[in-house]
A = this chain, B = another copy of it.
Amino acid sequence: MKFSSAVAAGLFLLASMAQVAVAQVEREKLLSEPGVYGTFAVFKLSEDWWKVDKAARASAMAEVKGVFQKHADKIIADTYLLRGLSQRADLMLRVHAREMVHNQNFLLDVMGTALGRHLQNVETFNGITKKLNYVPSFPDELKTELKTPPPQGSPYAIVVPIQKDAEWWTLAQDERTVMMKEHTDATIAYLKTVRRKLYHASGLDDLDFITYFETARLDDFNNLVIGLLKVEENHHNKRFGEPLLLGTIRPLDEILEVLAR
């Protein structure tokens, strides 16, 4: 008996580990492959939330975690705490899936929880990942530099929605490439301390791009952005931020704990 239950436990452990490993592989794929849909859903807690009694607030947290687990096979979701650093919002979810409707279904369930009913959805950005447009024609040296491994475990995240002007879009492709190279050159110095990810949003939102950054060095990030303001391409930003969202990357548990205090 002892033996068989130990075997069972061992098998269960192996299966769990395998499941976690599979989930991890799928997570890496969704975060790196083209053709993945990303939805950034940004929320502010309504004042009424604090009138809910503390026990109900705590049980609401379990409900939210259940929603995350329920959809874990279709979506991955990262969580951010904006409260304290942004007047617009308290909480951000970054959701990825192979179909936009999976993002919607997950968010419908989050918004349908007891907590979700007190969340005002103040911003939503929708985008899709693609192969990098400009990189293929860049010089080899630059291509090599762009392979610098990004930093891991950064505490801060910044989201900057971007919209280009009509002049940008009607430029010839090679003119845009020249400007994108200048843009890329300005970022090289920060590849080690700032991780970047790009989403295309034209037609999916009132945006052209969602740019997402992670860093431990906000001073570097400030300098990186100043570098980007100084290149020619900056003349073609009809919208840069507005809102720029700055927050800290924190696990769901910690965020929910802050909101249940």
Contact = CB atoms under 8 A, between A and B. Distances in A.
Interface of A: 35, 37, 39, 41-42, 46-48, 50, 81, 83-87, 100-101, 103-108, 111-112, 117-118, 120-124, 126, 128, 155-156, 158, 160, 164, 166-167, 169-170, 200-206, 208, 218-219, 221-222, 224-226, 229-232, 234-235, 237, 241-244, 246, 248, 258, 261
Contacts of A158: 203-204
Contacts of A230: 169-170
Contact of A170 (B81, B224, B235): B235
A35 to B, nearest CB: 6
Nearest to A125: B87
Main secondary structure of the interface of A (DSSP, over half): mixed
Given A84-B41, A85-B124, A124-B85, A202 B218 contact: no
Instruction: Report copies per complex.
Output: 5
Contact of A42 (B37, B87, B222, B224): B87
Contacts of A101: 155-156, 248
Nearest to A39: B85
B111 A206 contact: no
B169 A234 contact: yes
B122 A104 contact: no
A103 B155 CA distance: 14
A219 B46 contact: no
A117 B90 CA distance: 13
A87 B203 contact: no
Contacts of A84: 39, 41, 103-108, 111, 124
A47 B48 contact: yes
A101 B205 CA distance: 31
Given A103-B84, A244-B203, A112 B261 contact: yes
A87 B222 contact: no
Contacts of A128: 218-219, 222
A168 to B, nearest CB: 9
Nearest to A171: B230
Contacts of A243: 206
A166 to B, nearest CB: 4
